[in-house]
Amino acid sequence: MRLLIGLTILVTLALLASSQRFYRWRRTRLGAALTTGGWLMVAIGFAVGPFGANFVLPEQLLEVEPLILFCLGWIGLMVGLQAHRTLPRAVPGSVFALTGIDMLLSVLVLSATTLAILAVFDVAIMSALPVALLMGVFGAGWSAEVRSLQRRVHDADHVMPVIRAAAGISSLAAVAVYGLLFKSFSIDMLDGITWSAWDMTLGVMISLGVGMTMGLMGKWLMSLAGRSEGEFLVVLLGLVTLTAGAAATLGYSPLLVAALAGAIIVNFTGKPLQRFQRVIIEAEQPVAMALMLVAGVLADPRLSPQAVSLMLALVIMRGIVKLIDQRIIRRQMKIQHNPPALVGLIRQNPLAIAMAVGYAIAPLGRSELTPLSGGQVVMIVVMIGVMAEAFAFLQHGSHEQPEDMTP
């Protein structure tokens, strides 16, 4: 009964998140910062979880794991739909360079930081390596939401498109790297955590095969939907469910496989997908909010000294990486000063929470052989995001300029 009540609360909140009133509030500066980052729903999920009202327990969420996999698959599909073949022509090469540098720096710096902190607490390198690499991927990129950064600063207008474009490309890169790592490590009761290049190669091949198959199937099914929005939505829901379920059954990342399917769909479907673009956008919000609620339930605040030390070190090192990104943008765009909008680079990509949830429910995240539990990883990612969001919000507010009253 408790699980039923808890799920009812979660579903109701997710539906309320898609209401018109909530949508209007979400378009305000504060609403955009809280909802687009998912922080409001994460807080609510935490409140109804084991460390709040105790309506929903992480163990109970595993009983409805297919719903969580569906949410992960949907997020992956949305990311994949950005991979249109015209993207290289539509986005300047400098944005791709920025994304590549940020991804490389994030993985190298944050992974090395994680390994160093855990080594201080006598954690074996092989046990720490999966978490270290994932922390690097989680720290890459930034939030594409720019409404909360919009001020009366005219010179930031040309910076906003760069922030949004790079954030989208970074999401594609993060899902790809995350998918590679997802199956690279395995757990053996005798050997502990092991890494296999063959498993990684096989994982890429199978993920590509399943993703392409599901994408082509989706293209065919969408052609049968005609002009009916209802039929199109049913096809899309069924496709995501099948894709995420197939990926999970084979032991691969629903995020990556669904993203590959989305890339196939967006490049081969054409007009039917454009016609129903509004349906896709409207359906995305409640799914994303539901996943953030799940993250709040899974988050475990019982952080050990090594987890707290790691979290603080990652906040500092990630901030340094984003400062480097700011300098790169200023040099690329020949900006002499530092536009307040660039403060937004410090903000965490909401996709990081989705990836952390995927790790937490995977066998590796549930294993006692890892130095951090899946719930602790989710909590660290959430806290890093909250601190980054608060810093960006306060720092950007200090740059606010008075409105020009000149007629």
Q: Could you report the per-residue pLDDT of 270-294, keeping only the tens digit for each?
A: 666 666 666 777 777 778 888 898 9
Three-state secondary-structure class, residue 241: helix
Q: What is the mean predicted confidence (pLDDT) over 196-219?
A: 87
Closest residue by Cα to residue 64 from 300, 238, 294, 253: 294
Each residue of 128-137: pLDDT tens digit?
Answer: 999 999 999 9
Is 143 exposed, middle or buried (CB count within 10 Å of its CB: 0-12, 13-18, 19+)?
A: buried
Percent of the chain with pLDDT over 70: 79
- DSSP letter assigned to residue 227: T
Cβ(72)–Cβ(255) below 8 Å: yes
Cβ(95)–Cβ(391) below 8 Å: no
> How far, CA to CA in Å, does 406 sit from each of 75, 342, 402, 403?
46, 27, 11, 9
Counted residue by residue, the chain has a size of 407
All domains of the chain, ordered by start, with CATH?
2-148+155-398 (1.20.1530)
Q: Map tokens 């810093």 to a residue.
A: 391
One-letter identity of residue 80: G
Q: Distance between CA 55 and CA 52 in Å, rounded?
A: 8
pLDDT surpasses 50 at 227: yes
DSSP letter string, 9-77: HHHHHHHHTTSHHHHHHHTSHHHHHHHHTTHHHHHHHHHHSTTTT-SS-HHHHGGGHHHHHHHHHHHHH
Closest residue by Cα to residue 71 from 20, 10, 119, 125: 10
Each residue of 67-98: pLDDT tens digit?
Answer: 899 999 999 999 998 888 888 888 888 889 99
Three-state secondary-structure class, residue 407: coil
Q: Which pair of tokens denotes residue 289? A: 């909010």
> How far, CA to CA in Å, does 66 sit from each of 4, 44, 231, 235?
16, 22, 22, 18
| H/E segment holding residue 102 | helix 93-120
**Whole-prediction pTM value?**
0.88
Q: What is the mean predicted confidence (pLDDT) over 121-143?
A: 91
CB proximity list for 241: less than 8 A, separation 6 or greater? 66, 70, 73
Each residue of 322-341: pLDDT tens digit?
Answer: 999 988 888 887 776 666 66
DSSP letter string, 138-201: HTSS-----GGG--S-GGGTTTHHHHHHHHHHHHHHHHHHHHHHHTTEEEETTTEEEE-HHHHH
CB proximity list for 390: less than 8 A, separation 6 or greater? none
